[in-house]
A and B are shown apart, each in its own frame.
Chain A
């Protein structure tokens, strides 16, 4: 029991501190942005330290809570990534909430609750535990999407996200129950044994298909992506940044754990499904992004496309594939948060700064921030020497190795397409002059700027010296039994 609690300590701690932030927010009113923000960041940092201690105190191969929960390297990697993501998002939100005059207490607490849910998903080796984590994350995110209650778009985003999200959860749950009915277990290790020993019946296969649909919805893969652009556009921008990396990475964590782990014996049945979804996702995400004039929508389609690239790593499978997905999630997180940070900087004075044309001539007025955005666009497009290039390299190397050359060819062609719309932003910033009517000027938002700086440095460092980060990702994926 004591070991169980130690393994769960990071989640317990973050949940407790989230409630503390919630109460402090209620008690202090809206004036205490700085205090509550600092509290949230400190809480996340303290959770990180706890995670480190708990990881040191437990055996990475051990199972807790009657085999439902693990704290293996895979889980630790993702938890650290989620804590980093949450901290960056809290910092991004600070100036934004203040400027738009919304209460920070509930907001910060919900980000932290969502993080608890994501952490649980990464540790669950039982479908029920994973589902509980997923729902905690999803419910918190639904509310966050609609947090700006004075904006109609924010309402719309929350409503769409909730309805479609709930439906996908239902499909997922139906899949779970069919699998449970066919095999009599929700434990991934037992599931793998049962599936390997006997030929699965039709109900198990239908269950796997439904499960795949639910998961594909959560990572926003085609054809389950239609919610993404509207929700990303309408949600408060820091929450868009959060949704595009945190919950997506968490969904990949459970995708890897369940499919590469528990459903490995059925790989022949689901791998073509996921492979085709990956190809469609890359194609449709990139092609649709070409025509977007709203930057948030464009980044939404871009994040769909990036889910497609990561799915290539999942299809590749094996330690190399899992490793490349982990590394890609890290790369994608720092890049995308940086890019959304820039979008946040631009939104000011009732002037949304959301269309591509608003970026005209920014390089001249704000050279440093524009340079950061240039790095993020190059990284998303996969141009060396940025992190995005290294991330794609490892995904593609894993897939070539596993024999999926056709998927890699689709991926690189779509990368070429993607550069067109990433360069559109660069083109506006550097190559066009603003028309001078209402020049978009960046507001003073020191914390947002610091996040952009940090992400920009990370993008370059990972791009130039990826070895230590890869070694970390490899060590994490090393015990790739995932069960």
Chain B
């Protein structure tokens, strides 16, 4: 298989199929479900081909595609993949079929709109991971906004409209400032070289003046504009307030994608753009971001502990986990950055699995309140096992994926920032506290509520959706080298070590 159009195939397959599905009649629900699933599986196959063909020792972009789009401004359709984007593309491509399988029955209203929105969203995410043109990156970044708005707003819970609007306004406020920063960056490049370009590789060569202070330092301002957009997406404390609403109100599939992939775009952006483009500003901002990361870790854990709603609990646990990733990125060593990248994947797998499993009982009982459950271990043994695996992965049990990521982040950060690591480590303990207490209350407390006695266990379809996640949790936990070696060269290049 030639690789000339491999990345285009990965990026465009879901979106094009989605647009074609738009033309099918509303009643053809079976067709829409199957075609969307097949499209996402095809994307996964393309991503696997990229995995098998990529040269991990080569730190630069591979399978490069470049076509002019807006020649007058040097904007191009430029795609490229390195080890970092490969890992995140694989995660995205893996989660998407799982989303379709998990929502096979639970989404029965306006199925066409749902699958089209999901497929367009996938194109946006994959495009943002693979774009090597700043402008193209921004286009894909914005492309995600509208489908997600609909996914939350149409198929969400009771307060879905509030959550959808809040999601959009938060995201947009950040990303529009990023657009100004992108234009300004390109302007700096233009004034230094005399040519217009938005290519990422060109921007790396532009040296943005550092200046004095904050308001008179172009580099600090550009760093801030990019970082704000990404920090909202991550979300970094105190910009996280949209996340519990969006997560809680989104349908299960939307939550999986939101937590599994969309949040990763924030940390990906920090690593891909902020770090190499604005190195001095990055140094200057490190104490601030480390502090915010640690606050997020502890605060998120404490708030998660207090939740009565299972989905909200998992949502706040994301704030904690994303805090670890930010800590790993800003600690800045090779080990901690590699750990952060691996933790992005881990969080996608474990939180994706937790949202999936919360959705399972929600479909059956139409409640997510912890107090409405208890003693499920006796009636749903398979489900209990799955939930336990996901929990243990999330809290970092050795042998599963979460442990490796957190361990790398903390050991990588320790030599430079021992105090920060000490505080962050309490987050690991707190994580075990709130997750295990959740498990105890839901699965081992007495089976007091009558409606819970007759709950059916996982169906084969739900098992099918969960199995790949568990498979990769174990794989990464036992042999993380498979994935760490993919990204090492690329990470080394980005952090300049």
Contact = CB atoms under 8 A, between A and B. Distances in A.
Interface of A: 378, 383-385, 389, 393, 396-397, 400-401, 405, 408-409, 412-413, 415-416, 419-420, 423, 427, 430-431, 466-467, 470-471, 474
Contacts of A467: 69-72
Interface stretch (B147-155, B296-304, B406-414): B147-155
Given A413-B173, A470-B72, 15 more contacts: A378-B146, A384-B143, A393-B179, A393-B183, A397-B73, A400-B183, A400-B187, A401-B190, A408-B180, A415-B176, A430-B154, A431-B150, A431-B164, A467-B70, A467-B72
B169 A416 contact: yes
B54 interface: no
A401 B185 CA distance: 11
* B interface residue count range (under 10 / 10 to 19 / 20 to 34 / 35 or more): 20 to 34
Given A405-B180, A431-B153, A419 B143 contact: no
Given A397-B183, A408-B180, A427-B161, A385 B143 contact: yes
B386 interface: no
B164 A384 contact: no
A423 B180 contact: no
A400 B190 CA distance: 12
Nearest to B138: A384
A186 B382 CA distance: 87
Contacts of A401: 187, 190
Nearest to A466: B70
Contacts of A416: 169, 172-173, 176
B169 A420 contact: yes
Contacts of B168: 419, 423
B16 interface: no
Contact of B179 (A396, A423, A427): A396
Nearest to B178: A412
Contacts of B379: none
B214 interface: no
B70 A427 contact: no
Interface in B220-272: none
B154 A383 contact: no
A289 to B, nearest CB: 15
10 contacts: A383-B146, A389-B142, A397-B73, A400-B187, A416-B169, A419-B168, A419-B169, A420-B165, A420-B169, A427-B164
B48 interface: no
Interface of B: 69-73, 113, 135, 138-139, 142-143, 145-146, 149-150, 153-154, 160-161, 164-165, 168-169, 172-173, 176-177, 179-180, 183-184, 186-187, 190
B177 A409 contact: yes
Contacts of B142: 383-384, 389
B153 A430 contact: yes
A385 B139 CA distance: 7
A415 B173 CA distance: 9
B70 A409 contact: no
A400 B180 contact: yes
Nearest to B190: A401
A383 B145 CA distance: 9
Contacts of B150: 430-431
B464 to A, nearest CB: 31
A470 B70 CA distance: 9
Contacts of B177: 409, 412-413
Contact of A474 (B72, B146, B165): B72
A423 B149 contact: yes
Contacts of B139: 384-385, 389
Contacts of A389: 139, 142
A8 to B, nearest CB: 33
B123 to A, nearest CB: 11
A328 to B, nearest CB: 15
B149 A396 contact: no
A86 to B, nearest CB: 30
B127 to A, nearest CB: 11
The 4 closest A-B pairs by CB, nearest first: A412-B176, A384-B139, A416-B172, A431-B153
A470 to B, nearest CB: 6
Contacts of A384: 138-139, 142-143
B170 to A, nearest CB: 10
Contacts of B180: 396, 400, 405, 408-409, 412
Nearest to A323: B72
A393 B146 CA distance: 19
A427 B153 contact: yes
A405 B184 contact: yes
A426 B161 CA distance: 11
B283 to A, nearest CB: 24
A143 B72 CA distance: 43
Contacts of B161: 427, 431
Nearest to B171: A416
A467 B72 CA distance: 8
B1 to A, nearest CB: 28
Looking at B143, B161, B176, the one whose CB has the most chain A CB atoms below 10 A away is B176
B71 A412 contact: no
Contacts of A419: 168-169, 172
B157 to A, nearest CB: 13
Contacts of B73: 397
Contacts of A431: 150, 153-154, 160-161, 164
Looking at B160, B179, B190, the one whose CB has the most chain A CB atoms below 10 A away is B179
Contacts of B71: 467
Contacts of A413: 173, 176-177
B224 to A, nearest CB: 12
Contacts of A430: 113, 150, 153-154
A383 B135 CA distance: 13
Contacts of A400: 180, 183-184, 187
Contacts of B186: 397
B205 to A, nearest CB: 19
A316 to B, nearest CB: 12
A409 B184 CA distance: 11
Looking at A378, A384, A427, A474, the one whose CB has the most chain B CB atoms below 10 A away is A384
A470 B168 CA distance: 30
Nearest to A363: B113
A375 to B, nearest CB: 11
A412 B71 CA distance: 24
A412 B228 CA distance: 14
A301 to B, nearest CB: 18
A391 to B, nearest CB: 13
Contacts of B183: 393, 396-397, 400, 408
Nearest to A392: B179
B335 to A, nearest CB: 38
Contacts of A409: 177, 180
A397 B184 CA distance: 8
Nearest to B72: A470
A409 B180 CA distance: 7
Nearest to B112: A367
Nearest to B172: A416
A412 B72 contact: no
A470 B75 CA distance: 13
